[in-house]
Amino acid sequence: PLACAAPPAITEGPRYAAVAELGARLADENLVNGMHVHVGVPDRDTGVAVLNRIRRWLPALVAMGGNSPLWWGRDTGYASWRTVVFGRWPVGGPPPRFDGRADYERRVGSLLAARAILDSGQLYWQARLSERYPTVEVRCLDVQLTVDDATLFAGLVRGLVATAVLDDRSGRPEPEIAPELLHAATWHAARYGLRGELLDTEGGRHRPAADIVRALLDHVAPGLAETGDVEEVTRLLQDFLRRGAPAERQRRALRAGGLEAWTDLVSAVD
């Protein structure tokens, strides 16, 4: 948020040097902080099924978790400017739909063979299979202002994945989401956050943001029940909505007391 015009120092090592060479100005401006949530899955086949089922809810998480409204000391007008900055790499944004694990691995292999990415770590999709752990990794959230906010989103993501596993086991049909609509909904979520309306990826129409948040909570209810998180996530969500989305909290502090008040907000310890 207070970045200067000078390019940042690059961590030593051949991989970071290669990323900087590939990205050029993108690497200079990649001063963003994401919150990644890993959720264990039984196997990679289930993991791919989970990716297909959670795609429609990623824009809602972007809107709720948007916490990067400032860039170089100025308000960008976006709730999540990080989403825009990070989406400029060759492979990013919402993941496509995959026809099973073999299709996922084939397409990743094609990206590697085409040298579109240096390695699987550059699959900057907002959700992907982890190559290090037996998890689905959801990466669409900005780093949060408070521990409670981070805990809320960890619980929501775990509930989302657990619900997807339950739906896959029961044979419930996957939601059919047009990729262009999903990308548009993601941009809209990054732009406006929870202000006003969001683009519903399933219905293809604008709905009040509060309705989308309620729909997300209803959707993940089975997964939250399975993990024992209903009460905790519900309480944290109520507190979150009462305080307001983090991007708007930043803006309120900036309006009230300038960068000094803003700095106090973002550096406060829970």
Tokens 């994945």: give the residue: 161
Q: What distance in Å separates the CA atoms of residue 217 and residue 234, rounded to the nearest whole number? A: 8
Rounded mean pLDDT of the chain? 94
Domains of the chain: 33-267 (3.30.590.20)
Identify the pLDDT of residue 24.
Answer: 86
Distance CA 261, CA 253 (A): 6
Report helix, strand or coil for 76: coil
pLDDT tens, position by position, 100-129: 999 999 999 999 999 999 899 999 999 999
pLDDT band, residue 27 (cuts 50/70/90): confident
Query: Mean pLDDT throughout 59-68?
Result: 98
| pLDDT the model gives residue 29 | 84
Report which of 44, 180, 42, 181 is spatially closest to residue 104, judged by C-alpha positions. Answer: 44
Residue type, 207: R
Question: Residue 136 above 70 pLDDT?
Answer: yes
Q: State residue 243's pLDDT score.
A: 94
Between CA 232 and CA 113 the distance in angstroms is: 45
Q: What is the pLDDT of residue 270?
A: 67
d(CA 162, CA 41): 9
The answer, yes or no, to whether residue 31 has pLDDT greater than 90, is no
At residue 3 the predicted structure's pLDDT band, cuts being 50, 70 and 90, is low
Task: Choose among 60, 57, 71: nearest CA to 193.
Answer: 60
Mean per-residue pLDDT for 21-27? 86
85 Ramachandran zone, left/alpha/beta (phi>0; psi -120 to 50): alpha
Q: What is the mean pLDDT of residues 25-45?
A: 92
Between 116 and 6, where is the model more confident? Answer: 116
pLDDT digits (tens, 9 = 90+) for 71-101: 988 899 999 999 999 999 889 999 999 999 9
Q: 162-171, pLDDT tens digit by residue?
A: 999 999 999 9
> Which of 86-90, 222-226, 258-262 reaches the highest mean pLDDT?
222-226
Element (H, E) at 157: helix 147-170
